[in-house]
Amino acid sequence: MCCDLEPAVLGWLAHPFFAPREFRGWLADPGSLTRRLKRRCNRFSVSPVRVGFMRPNRDEYSILQLRPGERAYVREVVLNCNDKAVVFAHSVVAAASLRGPWAAVTQLGSRPLGEALFSDPRVARGPLQFRRIDARHALSRQAARAGIALEGAVWARRSLFTLLEQPLMVTEVFLPALLGARK
What is the model's pLDDT at position 136? Answer: 87
Look up the CATH superfamily of 9-180. Answer: Chorismate lyase-like (3.40.1410.10)
Beta bridge mates, 125? 161
Quote the CA–CA distance of 86 and 163 in Å, as a whole number. 28
What is the model's pLDDT at position 182? Answer: 63
pLDDT in tens, 110-149: 999 999 899 999 999 999 999 999 888 899 999 988 888 8
CA distance readout (Å), 34 to 39, 80, 126, 146, 166: 9, 10, 17, 19, 22
What is the model's pLDDT at position 152? Answer: 82
What is the model's pLDDT at position 8? Answer: 45
Helix (H) or strand (E) holding 22: helix 21-28
- What are the phi and psi torsion angles at 124 (to 5°)? -110, 140
Helix (H) or strand (E) holding 80: strand 72-81
* Number of alpha helices (DSSP H) and beta strands (DSSP E) in the chain: 4, 7
The list of the chain residues with pLDDT below 70 reads 1-10, 181-183
HSE-up of residue 10 (Cα within 13 Å, Cβ side): 13
What is the model's pLDDT at position 7? Answer: 45
Note the pTM of the prediction, 2 decimals. Answer: 0.91
What is the model's pLDDT at position 10? Answer: 62
Quote the CA–CA distance of 120 and 123 in Å, as a whole number. 6
